[in-house]
Amino acid sequence: MKIMIVDDEEKIRLGLSKLIVKASPAYEIVGACASGAECLEALRVHKPDLVITDIKMPGMSGLELAKMINQLYTDIKCVILSGFGEFEYARKAIASGVSAYLLKPVDKQELYDLLAKLHRDMPNVYQPIALSGKEDDHLKSRLLGKKTTEADAADIPQLAGMANHSAYCIVVIVSDAVVPRKAFRHWLQPGKESVVARLEMVEMDERTIAFIAIFDSQAESSIQAIQSHLSYILASEHAFRASVGISRLHRSAQELAEGYRESLDAIEINFYRSDKSPLSLASHSQFGSLHRVEAYRKRVLESMEILDVPGVELHLREMLREISVVKLRMNHLIELVETLFYALHKEAGKRQDTCNQNVVELDWGIVVKNCFNFGEAKSLIENRLIEGLGRLLNERNTQGGGTVYQIKKIIELEYADMLDLNSLAKRVFLTPSYLSKLFRQEAGTTIIEYIISVRMNKAKELLLNQMQLKTYQVGELVGYRDPAYFNKQFKKVVGLTPKEFRDIVS
């Protein structure tokens, strides 16, 4: 749509021009005139589709200009700009052939909505077929892969019309807020230079719009043209964020569901991008496996079990960093997040702590899906998990026995490592002497005796269940590098050497 702007103030001419150019590549500024007389001269050369003129200008007023345009060029539409004091005056101008008026200062969204309406009303501009509720439901069902009867399919003129063209792709747009469906109508509007021959639009939910863009050519350049066009639209959209996924080319109406799934895959890839409004092609959609992050998840859970908040923070950051590289599918990401918060809930239940039920009982599937990108989800997961764990730690310490419980858990998990009183005291930020006294008072034994007890119990399990292991190998697995010392400690605690224990018990 060719647009000419008329205003005696250069600042307004430039400002309007910038706003309109950002709105859509379908809009072209063909002139910016300082007076009505200048505009009439320019009309003969540029032949615009729309003139936007100020109502008050030196010499010829905007209303006088609009009347002359209506007499000389009946196919050119006029829009009047008016100040608040000229409101009633401008409204009366509608009867004089003016298409609409805009109140100054111009509201961007009001301007965009008006331009979109005038553009749709132009002759020879393709209009998407307005679907009836029944047709919309049937086409939505086809995109979702739900079976429809032959009678239902026959009621969808869009499917019948697809046979007359060469190929199509599915474009899915997910916004970060509820946006009226009409706001997207101009995004893929076919025009004189558009590669899109036909366009159908289906509202999948209040934040998701699906376009079926139908082409007369099967060339991959059609996809590239749409990608370039939408990238421009996204860069100029400031009212909301949008994520766009584009499927591969398809030819049969039977492949609608496949194309829609491909577009959703591209949307999932967008989730891991940091762009304000990302766009991806289905051909670039590659996801990683949960196995890639399993080791990180295990370390997070182990740290949670002993309420090691710094450890959880470290390993959680490592896990989330790896996820951003691997790019897990949404269902796998949700499954992983839910296991973490289930473990937090489980730890709270063990100690009958109250924790923060709002944190552990959230529906994390919905929470993650409502995040526009992984950065938002990452911050939310980190903050909520550490918050819940911190509450557990505070409540447990308040209730007493917290430090001893933590030391026991460290020993039970790390019995094969080099453990001693000094290193353990550093882990819980106490002096060795105070920790030794506290542990003996609450556990009824010394830390060294507890370490030996845990190691011997584990050694007995290995001797019974891992018959292929030599006794010296069992000693190494439970923290004793010297076989003779292991045998001595084992006999001291159990009353038998490791070999005698295995022979008698087995």
Q: Is pLDDT larger for residue 468 or for residue 353?
A: 468
Mean pLDDT, residues 272-294 taken together: 90
Query: Which of 117-121, 217-221, 398-402, 443-447 is predicted with the least confidence, judged by mean pLDDT?
Result: 398-402
Query: Which of 18-32, 112-126, 133-147, 460-474 is predicted with the least confidence, judged by mean pLDDT?
Result: 112-126
Checking if the pLDDT of 295 tops 70, the result is yes
Checking if the pLDDT of 183 tops 90, the result is no
Nearest to 173 by CA among 97, 123, 229: 229
Average pLDDT, the chain: 83
Q: pTM for the whole thing?
A: 0.57
Looking at residue 85, its pLDDT comes to 59
Checking if the pLDDT of 359 tops 70, the result is no
pLDDT band at 148 (very low <50, low <70, confident <90, very high): low
d(CA 189, CA 230): 11
Strand order from edge to edge, sheet including 50-54: 28-33, 2-6, 50-54, 77-82, 100-103
Which tokens hold the place of 29?
Answer: 């500024």
Q: Which CATH number among 3.30.420.40, 3.40.50.2300, 3.40.190.10, 3.40.50.150 corresponds to the domain 2-121?
A: 3.40.50.2300
Contact 190, 197 (CB under 8 A): yes
Checking if the pLDDT of 385 tops 60, the result is yes
Looking at residue 397, its pLDDT comes to 62
Looking at residue 94, its pLDDT comes to 59
Contact 66, 79 (CB under 8 A): no
Helix axes 402-414, 432-443, angle to 10 degrees: 90
The class that CATH gives domain 133-284 is alpha beta
Checking if the pLDDT of 352 tops 60, the result is no
Beta bridge partners of 208: 174, 205
Looking at residue 356, its pLDDT comes to 47
pLDDT in tens, 223-240: 888 888 888 888 877 778
Checking if the pLDDT of 351 tops 50, the result is no
Mean pLDDT, residues 281-293 taken together: 89
Looking at residue 82, its pLDDT comes to 81
Task: Find the Cα–Cα–Cα–Cα dihedral 434, 436, 438, 442, rounded to 10°.
Answer: 180
Q: In the CATH scheme, what is the code of domain 404-505? A: 1.10.10.60
pLDDT band at 161 (very low <50, low <70, confident <90, very high): low
Residues recorded for the chain: 506
d(CA 69, CA 266): 48
Checking if the pLDDT of 149 tops 60, the result is no
d(CA 406, CA 423): 13
Query: Which of 232-241, 356-365, 407-416 is predicted with the least confidence, judged by mean pLDDT?
Result: 356-365
- Is 2-121's fold the same as 133-284's? no
Checking if the pLDDT of 71 tops 60, the result is yes
Looking at residue 47, its pLDDT comes to 85
pLDDT in tens, 315-341: 999 999 999 999 999 999 999 998 998
Element (H, E) at 415: none
d(CA 490, CA 492): 5
Instruction: Give the start-to-end residue ranges of the domains of the chain.
Output: 2-121, 133-284, 290-399, 404-505
Which tokens hold the place of 257?
Answer: 């569901």
d(CA 276, CA 240): 9
Looking at residue 401, its pLDDT comes to 64
Contact 270, 243 (CB under 8 A): yes
Looking at residue 355, its pLDDT comes to 46
pLDDT band at 433 (very low <50, low <70, confident <90, very high): confident
> Strand runs (DSSP E) across 261-352, as ranges?
279-281
Contacts of residue 294, Cβ cutoff 8 Å, sequence gap at least 6? none
58 dihedral zone (left: phi>0; alpha: psi -120 to 50; beta):
beta
Checking if the pLDDT of 471 tops 50, the result is yes
Looking at residue 158, its pLDDT comes to 57
Looking at residue 151, its pLDDT comes to 45
